[in-house]
Amino acid sequence: MTEITKTLRWGIIGCGNVTEVKSGPAYQKTAGFTIEAVMRRDPEKVADYAKRHGIKKYYTDADALINDPEIDAVYIATPPDTHKFYALKVAEAGKPCCIEKPLAPTYQECLTITEAFEAKNIPVFVAYYRRTLPKFEQVKKWIDSKTIGDVRHIRWHLSKPTSNQDRSGEYNWRTDIKIATGGYFDDLASHGLDLFIHYLGPIKEVSGISLNQQGLYTSKDACVANWIHESGVTGSGSWNFGTFEREDVVEIYGSEGKITFSVFENDPLVLKTATGESTHNIPHPENIQLHHVEQMRDQLLGNSKHPSNAFTAAHTSWVMDQIIGN
């Protein structure tokens, strides 16, 4: 196993909410990584972020961060409509990159990003961190070991009530059709669909219906879909963001059992087989991207391959495009 002999210095473009607890501290806690600089267009907010997180350099210009000789790698944590813009600059600079999910608003933009890094043989990771969380790794172990026999079907329903922000008409980029055609579907459903592809392999056919039922914003707010994995496993999903109560239930049906879990809730895993039913509580780390970041380091050291990259993320975006009609 390759040992850590030098520190990889990261820069973050877009130090918003996702970087406060979920991701930023994970880079600081990972041996061999450090955050050397951050960038945000608002000078007061970026200075405040750097001070609170103990980061010595900050910029309001992304080009200055990307081309800083003291920055070895870049994490793009902006809204998805700017991912391609910044990613191509990072690829041109020849630096490894991690990009927040979804990789880009459309599959075609994902391909452009993927090809740019592939042409220079530079690693690019995508923050579908659920692939690396112990809770979801346990589900994969059950599937791979055939604890529930051969998987036949996977079903997911995700719904939540309309938020006060949605009702108020206050601007939210997550519900702006120019940034996220599918609205919350883009932001949330991408996590689960990417996880299912990780579990069951690529999806070869998918169809969907999407619409805006509430008329509160420009993005879609309701989607349903059916699909089939190349492995022959069928799947179905429904996502609605204007219902009475929040619900998040995934059921994986096998020939000899069933697994039930939530993508976002802290509910325990439930395993049901002929021998009985058991529950399994596997907590997430404080900084939920910690394992994702640690496994990026492991790949960069040549010790293992990270499960989430531009190729896998682009396939997830292709599936989403088919569902929402991009």
For residue 6, the tally of other CB atoms under 10 A from its CB is 7
Q: Which two tokens stand for residue 243?
A: 């219902």
Alpha carbons 165 and 179: distance in angstroms, whole number = 17
Strand order in the sheet with 257-261: 203-211, 222-229, 234-240, 151-159, 247-254, 257-261, 269-273, 276-280
- Which pLDDT score is estimated for 291? 98
Q: Is the pLDDT of residue 153 over 90?
A: yes
Exposed e or buried b per residue across 271-308, where buried means at least 16 C-beta atoms within 10 angstroms of its C-beta: bbbeeeeeeeeeeeeebbbbbbbbbbbbbbeeeeebbb
Q: Is the pLDDT of residue 326 over 90?
A: no
Give me the mean pLDDT over the 234-251 stretch. 98
Give me the mean pLDDT over the 136-159 stretch. 98
* CA distance readout (Å), 42 to 48, 127, 233: 10, 24, 47
14-44: pLDDT as tens digits:
999 999 999 999 999 999 999 999 999 999 9
87-145: pLDDT as tens digits:
999 999 999 999 999 999 999 999 999 999 999 999 999 999 999 999 999 999 999 99
Q: Which residues contact 305 (CB under 8 A, 6 or more apart)?
A: 299
pTM: 0.94
* 77 within 8 A of 18, measured Cβ to Cβ: yes
Exposed e or buried b per residue across 118-141, where buried means at least 16 C-beta atoms within 10 angstroms of its C-beta: eeeebbbbbbbbbbbbebbebbee
Q: Is the pLDDT of residue 5 over 90?
A: no
- Which pLDDT score is estimated for 6? 83
Averaged pLDDT score across all residues of the chain? 96
- Which pLDDT score is estimated for 2? 75
- Which pLDDT score is estimated for 1? 65
Give me the mean pLDDT over the 235-262 stretch. 98
